[in-house]
Structure 1
Amino acid sequence: MIAKFHQFPISLALARDDDDIDKSTARLNAVRIDVSQNEREAPEHRHRKGQLVMPEHGGVTCRVPNGMWMVPPRCGVWVPGGMPHSNVATANARLFFLFIEPGAADLPERCCTLSLSPLVRELIIEMADHSEVATADAELITTLLLSALSRMPVEHLHLPLTAEPRLGRIASALVDDPSDRSTIEQWAKRMAMSENSLARLVQQETGLTFGRWRQQLQLIVAIRSLSAGATVQRVSADLGYESVSAFITMFKKALGASPAKYLRNFDR
């Protein structure tokens, strides 16, 4: 099927409101959304097609049944076709949605965050911003983009989630109040468990220690807030750190760069 560049009327919750794109048999469809003019949140839904969400500005958090992914600028979250998911964007976000026909590209079978090259980003923007493109040009861009996407590296901005009810309650509480610095012993008491039992449960369900699991959530919250324009000082305080330097040390150890340098890397 020859690719077509569509500009459908669209909102962040498009899958619930308009299924024209999902019915299309084109290998690729691309659209742009300015969140300031649309909903910031799309409740859980699914697409027949695979979906890549790429912020041009601001950030997006995508939640699926077994995890949560943060999508800062210069990355994209990949959601395979048929997977239930919800998206929440920062108020300043400008987003691109790329819908990919099943089997059209060699992309992961699981949800993940991809680091996108400048070429891939520009091709997505070109597709979304030009509704009328010559057939030969459309097919060339489509083929190039599908090939390039399959080589994009995975970023580890993922919080494993689980259907286990006690861990679900802890995760919800930490999302609501990421500044909560309660120890694993204190959380265990709240869940009517021993500390060792909770530690084993987190490891079994998520593959991470309790401390690493909570830190991953804090990183997602931090990147989301920084992408929305919050200062490092504000984010540090919101996460309950006693000092900005302690927060920067944690961030740099986890992601290999200070918050300022990390975000600058995405602005290139």
Structure 2
Amino acid sequence: MTLSGGTLTSHVGDRIFTVFEGNGLWMPAGVVHGGRATAGAEFHDALFAPDRTPFVFEEPKAIEMTPLLESLLAHLSRTDLDAPARARAESVVFDVVRPSARQFALQVPGDPRIDAIAAALLDDPADDRSLEEWARLLGASERTVTRAFRRATGLSFAQWRQMLRVHRALMLLSEGFDVMTVSETLGYAQPSSFIAAFRRVMGTTPGAFFEAAADLSS
């Protein structure tokens, strides 16, 4: 799948991928997935026969949509290509396709001890209940919850919630909501707190991030 404008969120097994403008998502054959694109986003499918694919990414992966790759995929979308012409174009695609430097996937825990927390936060990322409150609600110790998050996702509870909020922020910002509205929607007390959290995850501010994405796609 290739994306133009906005973001695409795809739920694949126990992970949630967020793909930005200027990128695509490589999906191996047979992988069940679902998702949604933000308003104004356009995405296109490019299908390749597994037996004619000389390499396989073992898992879904964001790929960089260079101008050359976009041109090749547009060429392959033609319905008048004969088999030899299609094979030649596909061989070039497989030669130039590269993983994107921006791989942004959120691991969903899949641990019955903390699945209720993940489900509640996926439904409402602004839920600001503390680790202590969640542990008390689940009848578990804070240490148990912390270890479960670390083991299942590689992140602490606070880090996982922050990552989830940034995933949601990317979608909201792509739909045209301003930083203040996104900050309030996601439960931050001040826009500056949201911007700082975004920078910790993405390495830059929301404004700079989307400016860079626009430059890459232009």
1:98 partner letter: A
Q: 2:55 and 2:122 mapped to 1: Cα distance?
A: 33
CA RMSD, Structure 1 to Structure 2 (Å):
2.0
Give the length in aligned residue pairs.
214
Residue 54 of structure 1 and its aligned partner are, at CA, apart by 1.7
Which of the numbers 43, 46, 58 marks the counterpart of 1:109?
58
CA–CA distance in structure 2, aligned partners of residues 156 and 221 of structure 1: 16
Matched, 1:225 2:172: yes
Alpha carbons 2:26, 2:61 under 8 Å: kept: yes
- Contact 1:158–1:216, Cα closer than 8 Å, also in 2: no
CA distance in 1 between counterparts of 2:212 and 2:70 reads: 14
Opposite residue 113 of structure 1, the aligned amino acid is: A
Separation in 1 of the partners of 2:132 and 2:71? 49
In terms of mean alpha carbon deviation, does 61-70 or 86-95 score higher? 86-95
1:147-158 alignment runs, 5 A limit: 147-149=95-97, 151-158=98-105
Structure 1: unaligned runs, 5 residues or longer: 1-52
* Letter aligned with residue 62 of structure 2: T
What is the 5 A alignment of 1:69-80?
A: 69-80=17-28
Contact 1:54–1:71 (8 Å) recurs in 2: no
**Displacement of 1:220 after TM fit?**
0.9
AA of the residue aligned to 1:143? S
Normalising by structure 1, we get a TM-score of: 0.73
1:158 offset after TM fit, Å?
0.8
- Say which structure is richer in strand: 1
Give, in angstroms, the shift of residue 162 of structure 1.
3.2
Instruction: Say whether residues 1:91 and 2:91 are aligned partners.
Output: no
Which residue matches 1:30? none
C-alpha distance in 2, partners of 1:125/1:56? 13
Instruction: Please report how far the alpha carbon of residue 122 of structure 1 lies from its aligned counterpart in structure 2 after TM superposition.
Output: 3.4
- Residue of structure 1 equivalent to 2:151: 204
| Residue 204 of structure 2: aligned partner | 257
State the alpha-carbon separation in 2 of the partners of residues 156 and 135 from structure 1.
Answer: 34
Structure whose residues are more often helix by fraction:
2
Secondary structure of 1:229's aligned partner:
coil
The runs of at least 4 consecutive aligned structure 1 residues that moved more than 6 Å come to none
Q: 2:181 aligns with which of 228, 231, 234?
A: 234
Percent identity, aligned pairs only? 28
Deviation of 1:114 (Å): 2.7
